[in-house]
Amino acid sequence: MNINKKTVKDIDLKGQRVVMRVDFNVPLKDGVVKDDTRIKAALPTIKYILEQGASLVLLTHLGRPKGEAVPEFSVKPAADRLAELLGKEVKFANDCVGADVQAQAAALKPGEVLVCENTRYHKAEDIKCKTPEDKQLMRDFAAELAKLGNVYVNDAFGTAHRAHASTAVITEFMDKSKCVAGFLMEKELQYLGKAVADPKRPFVAIIGGAKVSGKLEVLRSLMNKVDTILIGGGMAYTFLKALGHDIGNSLCEDELLDTAKETLALAQTKKVRFMLPVDNKVADKFDNDAKTMIVKNDIPAGYMALDIGPETVAAYSAEIAKAKTIVWNGPMGCFEMPNFASGTMEICKAVAESDAVSIIGGGDSVAAVNQSGLAAKMSHISTGGGASLEFLEGKELPGVACLADA
């Protein structure tokens, strides 16, 4: 996949009407945005487009309303927050297709913004195209969205791995030379692209999270690129059981034990250091106030591992200190519970203190880094967990592939 794409800076925007896909999939509480990180991340592109004398129509999804107009998934609170952040009026359309919204878009003057209602209020936005009819539904919906403007900007890296109507198919109904990346998309592609194509070495990947199944593809792909892989989180115990250790009540995907063995063998073949925890913080129940102790890799019956232990932290931190490129996806333990947050927080600290290019790959890792207060010390915090994983797996991202090449 060519990641060298045209951006908003490569086209003349004056007098144009821009349709921009943003990722305003933000958490709401009582109709108010609880975390506006994703809205703020889109501001540089939004401001640039408006400064160039264009008008702007914004498309986004929010939550999973499953093709129904569910009021609690309305994008209106995000539009209101955007107005506050921009310090100017932001118009709102009660739908994203149809005559009304087309009229609202057509009436926009240069410098004006219109936010459209949730694209996922329509099942055609993200329908699984299993039949020709489904595919046609999505194409028809995308063609309607394309009527909202004459330039398309994708700044929603978080959904770039999805071939949805508003993230990819829309470009089939627009002038391809005017389908470009926003600044956020450009930054994601630069950091992740460089990490994949031309990393400074040693290249260390820190892979955590609950399940091996969700990370198998990325582990296999990373074997061709990295020097060292550090494993944490619940997924570590499937590997440790595969090596013959007792894991007590720790999380384990028994159906993947053979796959875990194959993965360990592949690491040996590829000469990749594949490091697993050497000690663990275990608990007698899944509870912050559980009885805990630090044990080596044979976990007593009745106990479950909920965090990596101090020796593991020291060993992993030593690897991180030597690194020149770091990719991190997934926490080291149940960091949401204060008593099991230490492993993840110490790894955060090690990454923050290293002089490597550090890329934090979306999802829980971002939440952990934000919780640690060290976000400013990371080179790049990805806005898309699933998208950054698929990118690292070497897969084509439909929301990127559809944009004009530079």
Going through 301-374 in order, the beta strands assigned E by DSSP cover 304-308, 325-329, 357-360
Are the beta carbons of 54 and 110 closer than 8 angstroms?
yes
Strand partners, 328: 206, 360
Helices (H) and strands (E) in the chain, counts: 13, 17
How does 217-239 read in b/e, with b if 16+ C-beta sit within 10 Å?
A: ebbbbbbebbbbbbbbbbbbbbb
12 burial (CB, 10 Å; 0-12 / 13-18 / 19+) is: exposed
- Tokens linked to 130: 């299993």
391 — phi, psi (to 5°)?
-60, -45
Are the beta carbons of 17 and 57 closer than 8 angstroms?
yes
- Which residue among the candidates 67, 111, 193, 386 is catalytic per the annotation? 386
Q: Could you confirm whether 211 is annotated as catalytic?
A: yes
131 burial (CB, 10 Å; 0-12 / 13-18 / 19+) is: exposed
- Which residue among the candidates 363, 384, 385, 399 is catalytic per the annotation? 363
Shortest CA distance to 163 belongs to which of 151, 171, 153? Answer: 171
Shortest CA distance to 283 belongs to which of 340, 355, 208, 348? Answer: 340
Residue 199 Cα to chain centre, angstroms: 20
Q: Could you confirm whether 128 is annotated as catalytic?
A: no
148 burial (CB, 10 Å; 0-12 / 13-18 / 19+) is: buried
Please tell me the distance from the alpha carbon of residue 155 to that of residue 58, in angstroms, as a whole number.
Answer: 10
Please list the helix, strand and coil fractions of the chain in percent, rounded to the nearest 5, in that order.
40, 15, 40
Q: How many CA atoms lie within 13 A of 2 on its CB side?
A: 9
- Which residue among the candidates 211, 324, 377, 395 is catalytic per the annotation? 211
- Amino acid symbol at 335: F
Q: Could you confirm whether 208 is annotated as catalytic?
A: no
Active site residues: 38, 211, 363, 386
